[in-house]
Amino acid sequence: MKLPEAKTQFINNWGAMGTQWGINRTMAQIHALLLVSNTALTQDDIMEQLNISRGNVNMNTRDLVDWGLINRVIIQGERKEHFTAEKDIWKVAAHIIRERKKRELDPMIKLLAQLENIDGDKKEKETRQFLEMIGTIKKLGQKAGKLLDVLVKAEENKFTSAVMKALK
């Protein structure tokens, strides 16, 4: 396999993987494209390489910037704005973890805490069972959250060492 084909493969598979994780295909592809590109790319470059519309590029680059996964960069003398991906994969992973935790895990835990406040006879079996289920899920969520915090708070290459510790 030649380099360009390998890049395409990577981009497409990254896109497919994305969909399985609730990330839209194009967004994942743009991210992948920028990851394996050595130069900063413009909207037009991305449109051309992935065969997608300007609006699509614009929306998804905006989201990726929001997620902190790519950056707008200004290039001396160039009028158009360019994009680059954060190339440090460990940082990328940390970003994604931090964001998804904040947007999804934390609110879920909050909800579970609310559900623990039902008014009802705690002597009743059904109530007890429900509260136990909710409580256990909340505990699991909190534990997972802490684990993610550790992974993420550790600086750059400490990411590795945090993981390595867990493997001992």
**Binding stretches for its own copies (CB under 8 A):** 1-3, 6-7, 9-10, 13, 17, 19-22, 35-36, 38, 87, 89-90, 93, 104, 108, 111, 114-115, 117-120, 125-127, 129-130, 133-134, 136-137, 140, 143-144, 146-147, 150, 160, 162-168
Q: Least Å distance between CB 13 and its own copies?
A: 6
Q: Of its own copies, DNA, none, which one does residue 79 interact with (CB within 5 to 8 Å by kind)? A: DNA
Residues in contact with 45: Cβ distance below 8 Å, sequence separation at least 6, in sequence order: none
The CA–CA distances, whole Å, from 94 to 10, 25, 31, 87, 161 equal 21, 21, 15, 12, 14
Q: What does the block give as tokens for 157? A: 């290459």
Q: Least Å distance between CB 37 and its own copies?
A: 9
Nearer to its own copies, 78 or 149 (CB): 149
Interface with DNA (CB under 7 A):
19, 24-27, 42-44, 51-56, 58-62, 79-81
Residue in this structure with the two tokens 């079996």, named with its chain if needed: 125
Nearer to its own copies, 52 or 115 (CB): 115
Nearer to its own copies, 20 or 76 (CB): 20
Q: Least Å distance between CB 1 and DNA?
A: 25
Residue type, 70: I
For residue 124, the 8-state DSSP code is S
Q: Of its own copies, DNA, none, which one does residue 76 interact with (CB within 5 to 8 Å by kind)? A: none
Residues in contact with 107: Cβ distance below 8 Å, sequence separation at least 6, in sequence order: none
Residues in contact with 64: Cβ distance below 8 Å, sequence separation at least 6, in sequence order: 27, 30, 31, 70, 83
Residue in this structure with the two tokens 């704005």, named with its chain if needed: 81
